[in-house]
Amino acid sequence: MEASRFEKGSQALAAIDGKGGQAVIDSLQDIAPDLGRWIVEFAFGDIYTRKGLDLQQRELVTIGSLVTQGDTAPQLTVHIQGALNVGLSKAAVVEAILQCAPYVGFPRVINAINVARTVFERGSEDSDKPKD
């Protein structure tokens, strides 16, 4: 039996964003549970599971898209961490953000770099803690 869109999306979300992605979905339950379901089913069940791009490529595209929109720090945080989770290096994340400078301008790129810094620093702090 084929997995439902929600099941496929939940698996993709967990593989990419782990607890951070689920926290976003959980944060919507009291006010807009359908939005959380749509994110899981459409973004992760339908889009992230398509053939043609691997998860690293998808995260780079997502980061670039979020940088161009501006004012997306919470989503950038989740997807930068997701990029690291699927094996992208910090240097690749930074390069993807820098690639946006000629197209969206320095303010949005600076803001995105600052989000990346925060994610990278948080990761360093987490790596210093003993694993459970």
pLDDT in tens, 4-26: 999 999 999 999 998 888 999 99
pLDDT in tens, 85-104: 999 999 999 999 999 999 99
pLDDT digits (tens, 9 = 90+) for 29-82: 999 999 999 999 999 999 999 999 999 999 999 999 999 999 999 999 999 999
* Cβ proximity of 125 and 90 under 8 Å: no
Phi and psi at residue 46, to the nearest 5°: -95, -45
* Residues 115 and 100 sit within 8 Å (Cβ to Cβ): no
